[in-house]
Structure 1
């Protein structure tokens, strides 16, 4: 365990956390109170192990108490750790296969400083997850869901794709970028943290999306300059995290899932969809 939840976890004794660490693992990053994986374990039984990760020790201590009270502590555990700093250890050292990683309802204000889903986390997951592992992203703020989706498309080194479930289940379209940026949608659970993005290149103020392409040393880019992608037509790895919202990739064509593909809701999801009749923006990726 990290001493304060902010430093990287150096080593994890998986045998001390789970009775059988060879079972498939489900991980909920930013698990909060932890009810999501507790409900999943109750419904699915002990076929899998379940790990909740968060930085708030008081919530995790209470959640571990709940798991023990329900005789689930042999397969359910909550760990205090910084998910970004500890990603390689969390996912690279587990003895069994990692079946699912969930990242749901991160605080949209965090993106103003540093979003939990950024280059560092995505690159770590891309390098350690095995083919077939799934990543589930969800938010009730479309800009936050878009930011997370774009991070995986840009920084995943081509190792992730949209799950086929998007072709077989009900989906609704992603909002066009111009509408997403200019609209301030009232919400009973918060306000969309959106603003017009102004970018500068060679002293010229520009507004609009970032298009990503790669160009060889002698190939013309969208600016018509050989080998100098500049702000437009840049390689994916050079797109800054504060421009992720503006990236227009191919995954947006898959739309958002209209129903929860995992079958287990969080409290936030129930509140948004049932109490406020709001909308949740979901996407399921596969390694």
Structure 2
């Protein structure tokens, strides 16, 4: 019989002590043979999986057992409950959850998967109030994924805050455009809606009601996009493309909770409003992976608000 926790009882999850512990600052190792029944299958990984329902749904929908599904998060209580859910549904060996600081451990975990056969990595609905020091997406994570993902692997990003989705997309474009690009097999005509015009720098610490945008910042960020002053402040030499990205810019971009990166406030601001080439691809109208998160269902069906989705691909 499932315990109350496994059956869906409330679990206290906002505890970041793992991030500051020795274990949270070391790369997590996974015993793949003990985790999955067939390690020759491609891997689907959700970074920052929270309660884990999305991973469970992905695994449940895969009746042919064509992939393995892995959820990574820092909250052990949530992961224990999710592993209980998987066991109760007969999905153990097909769906699994592991405690890890994904910024520190992404390269070690995904890079150690047999054959590095990673098919899809998703980063969904990060906390919009934790962008600077705990945001999982930043220079460090982009570099880790560029190192270990095979050509053709997809990276799926989404949020119900447009500036948060923009920040994540811009991190990949700014720090990894030579390794990643918009997946044009998913972003096809008729499948997207345009990105909002953001002509002012935004601050990630104060939310305003208008579409998740922030008030105007002062200082070097006052330069208009596309001007020489803006390119100088942002370290940008023009529209992004192959050859631009991880070699440019400062030390900022978000630490994902690892504490391993310095946070450059100006750099973070620029990542919110930078007008790169990838914005021309727009946001996806519909979920491209066939399994929504619980938050996605709530946002689109209950509140009738928009979700901002983008699919990238490893070159």
For Structure 1 versus Structure 2, the TM-score category normalised by the shorter chain is 0.7 to 0.9
TM-score, normalised with respect to structure 1: 0.84
Aligned residue in 1 for 2:26: 8
Please report how far the alpha carbon of residue 168 of structure 1 lies from its aligned counterpart in structure 2 after TM superposition. 3.7
TM-score, normalised with respect to structure 2: 0.77
Aligned residue in 2 for 1:48: 67
Task: State the SS of the aligned residue for 2:130.
Answer: helix
Matches within 5 A, 1:231-250: 231=233, 234=236, 236=245, 237-239=248-250, 240-241=252-253, 242=268, 243-250=270-277
Q: Report the Cα distance in structure 1 between the residues aligned to 2:168 and 2:153, rounded to whole angstroms.
A: 17
Matches within 5 A, 1:1-287: 6-45=24-63, 46-96=65-115, 97-164=117-184, 165-178=186-199, 181=202, 184-185=208-209, 192=212, 194-200=214-220, 206-208=221-223, 222=228, 230-231=232-233, 234=236, 236=245, 237-239=248-250, 240-241=252-253, 242=268, 243-287=270-314
Q: 1:209 to 1:120 in 2, by over 3 A?
A: farther
Runs of 4+ in 1 over 3 A off after TM superposition: 1-5, 179-184, 208-212, 232-236
Q: Report the Cα distance in structure 2 between the residues aligned to 1:130 and 1:136, rounded to whole angstroms.
A: 15
Task: State the SS of the aligned residue for 2:104.
Answer: coil
Q: 1:85 to 1:71 in 2, by over 3 A?
A: same
After superposition, give the CA deviation of every residue in 1:96-151 in whole Å (9 maximum; x if it has no partner): 41000010000011114342100000011011101010000000000000000000
Bigger radius of gyration: 1
Q: Report the Cα distance in structure 1 between the residues aligned to 2:288 and 2:187, rounded to whole angstroms.
A: 9
Please report how far the alpha carbon of residue 186 of structure 1 lies from its aligned counterpart in structure 2 after TM superposition. 5.8
- Aligned length in residues: 264
CA-based RMSD: 2.5
User: Is the CA contact (8 Å cut-off) linking 2:157 and 2:311 kept in structure 1?
Assistant: yes
Aligned residue in 1 for 2:14: none
Q: Report the Cα distance in structure 2 between the residues aligned to 1:135 and 1:232, rounded to whole angstroms.
A: 25
After superposition, give the CA deviation of every residue in 1:33-83 in whole Å (9 maximum; x if it has no partner): 101011111111311000000000000000000001111011110000001
Q: Which has the higher strand share?
A: 1
Please report how far the alpha carbon of residue 167 of structure 1 lies from its aligned counterpart in structure 2 after TM superposition. 1.8
Provide structure 2 residue ranges, at least 5 long, that are not aligned to the other structure. 1-17, 238-244, 254-267
